[in-house]
């Protein structure tokens, strides 16, 4: 399963658990339009760290502020393994 697929699956699961109506996910979707609040994003990042073994937002020397779903996915895809 690709990183993108894992992220999308985790987002869908968290949306269900948090009772959030998640719009169709695509790279251009603004993170603000997902319906996630800060708790949902914290859960997402924690689960992805457990699943993928990385958190690109704490290991990066530069502050990364993704604005879209595509930016969020690329943050994980671009981590040096």
Per-residue confidence (pLDDT) for residue 80, from 0 to 100: 65
Region 36-64 average pLDDT: 90
* The predicted structure's pLDDT at residue 61: 72
The two tokens of residue 2 are 């690709």
Split at pLDDT 50, 70, 90, the class of 81 is low
pTM of the model: 0.90
pLDDT digits (tens, 9 = 90+) for 1-22: 899 999 999 999 999 999 999 9
Q: Could you please report the per-residue DSSP string of 7-52?
A: HHHHHHHHHHHHT--PPPP-TT-BGGGG---HHHHHHHHHHHHHHH
Using the predicted structure, report yes or no on whether residue 75 has a pLDDT greater than 80. Answer: yes
């Amino acid at each position: 399963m690709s990183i993108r697929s894992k992220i999308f699956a985790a987002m869908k699961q968290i949306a269900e658990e948090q009772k959030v109506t998640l719009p169709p996910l695509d790279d251009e979707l603004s993170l603000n339009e997902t319906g996630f609040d800060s708790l949902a994003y914290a859960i997402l990042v924690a689960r992805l760290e457990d699943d993928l073994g990385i958190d690109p937002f704490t290991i990066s020397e530069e502050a990364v502020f993704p604005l879209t779903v595509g930016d969020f996915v690329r943050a994980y895809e671009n981590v040096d393994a």
